[in-house]
Amino acid sequence: MIEYFLFLAGCTVMVLGAVGVIRFPDVYTRLHASTKCDTGGSISILLGVAISIGLTMTSVKVLSILFLIFLLNPVASHALARASHKYGVKPCKMTVVDMYD
């Protein structure tokens, strides 16, 4: 029963993140939305998969993928944001704070 809740929570986070990617105005806010939905949604879904299949070698592999997503997705999104900033991509006019200036 808990795995169905995790599946539903992961799918909800993914859908909300996709809406954020569509609606947000610039690359930085879109990157924020996509990182949150990828990390949160995929972790919830993979945790539900690991619970539903039980303690097997496959669940260990799923949990290792979950751990790698948890570590690497924020690092990759930070690298993309930093590269965008160094390339000269300006934030939207509605963005108030720019921590890199």
pLDDT exceeds 70 at position 96: no
Residue 4 banded pLDDT, cuts 50, 70, 90: very high
pTM of the model: 0.80
**Structure-block tokens of residue 56:** 């097997």
Report the largest interatomic distance among the alpha carbons of the chain, rounded to a whole angstrom.
51
Q: What is the mean pLDDT of residues 64-84?
A: 92
- Beta strand spans in the chain (E): none
Question: Dihedral angle at the C-alpha atoms of 57, 37, 13, 51, nearest 10 degrees?
Answer: 10
